[in-house]
């Protein structure tokens, strides 16, 4: 997909090198940004804790770094049906600076179980 100028059907190149390439190559031979190619970056995740009894993956969080929300939803999808559970230092803290949503609201919206440390300790004790 190429960016089009409002005045003409000529592509608007994103860099000077792209423009020079288009000018030097045989006319009509190359398509400029004709489609998107999806890709996946393979990474490794080391959980903070794993509950030996339930198999749940426990992630303790004081704050989310940039990209964390996408990372955790991808991990959740990869490890299903194993649960990824958050123990949050403050569920009312904003996901990131300037955000309207809190960490607890994000967890609830995405279907994650989440607790404060004291709540999780009670949960473990209550459920053996």
Domain regions of the chain by residue span: 49-126
The CATH class, in words, for 49-126 is alpha beta
Query: What is the per-residue pLDDT for 4?
Result: 47
| Spacing of C-alpha 48 from chain mean position | 18
Instruction: Read off the pLDDT of residues 60-86 as tens digits, 9 standing for 90 and up.
Output: 999 888 889 999 999 999 999 999 999
The pairing of strands 84-88 and 113-115 is parallel
Instruction: Read off the pLDDT of residues 101-123 as tens digits, 9 standing for 90 and up.
Output: 999 999 999 999 999 999 999 99
Residue 19 has pLDDT above 60, yes or no: yes
């Amino acid at each position: 997909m190429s960016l089009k100028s409002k005045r003409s059907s000529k592509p608007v190149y994103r860099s000077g090198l792209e423009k020079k390439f288009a000018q030097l190559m045989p006319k009509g031979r190359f398509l400029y940004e004709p489609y998107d190619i999806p890709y996946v970056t393979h990474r490794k995740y080391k959980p903070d804790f794993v509950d030996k009894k339930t198999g749940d993956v426990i992630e303790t969080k004081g704050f989310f770094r940039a990209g964390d929300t996408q990372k955790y939803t991808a991990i959740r999808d990869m490890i299903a049906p194993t649960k990824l559970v958050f123990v949050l230092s403050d569920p009312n803290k904003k996901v990131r600076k300037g955000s309207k949503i809190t960490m607890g609201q994000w967890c609830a919206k995405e279907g994650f179980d989440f607790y404060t440390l004291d709540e999780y300790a009670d949960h473990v004790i209550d459920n053996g």
